[in-house]
Amino acid sequence: MNNISKQRKTNVCLEGCLRCIIALIIIVFIFPLFFHQKLLITSKSPDKSYEIIVKYKEAFLFGPQEINVYYKKNKGVLKYHLFTTHLFNDGLPIYESDCKIK
């Protein structure tokens, strides 16, 4: 009876460790793939009171890239979401030269 109890505790411990490893892999590799945004370009208004920030998410396989546009008051900490759009370019990387703010 004692050997079975020890073996069961060992199996439960190994199962717990395996679940932690799988959760860590999901957090480290998969979460940033879907939720991490990269800065594309920023621009300040002529009077320097506002800043426009354009960020994008990498395309998954050959899907579209999601582009988010934000604005921020110059002395403020918070940024406010203006709109979201998608760029369909077969998964090619997007560069700063592809974007222009007037």
The string of pLDDT tens digits covering residues 48-94 is: 899 999 999 887 777 788 899 999 988 888 889 899 998 887 767 88
**pLDDT class for 28, splitting at 50, 70, 90?**
confident
- DSSP-derived 3-state class of residue 1: coil
> In angstroms, how far is the first alpha carbon of the chain from the final one?
77
| Kind and range of the H or E run holding 87 | strand 79-87
pTM, two decimal places: 0.64
Contact 55, 63 (CB under 8 A): no
Its domain, for residue 9, covers: 1-36
- Same domain flag for 9 and 48: no
- Same domain flag for 80 and 42: yes
- The torsion angles phi and psi of 68, rounded to 5 degrees, stand at -115, 135
User: In the prediction, which pLDDT does 84 show?
Assistant: 92
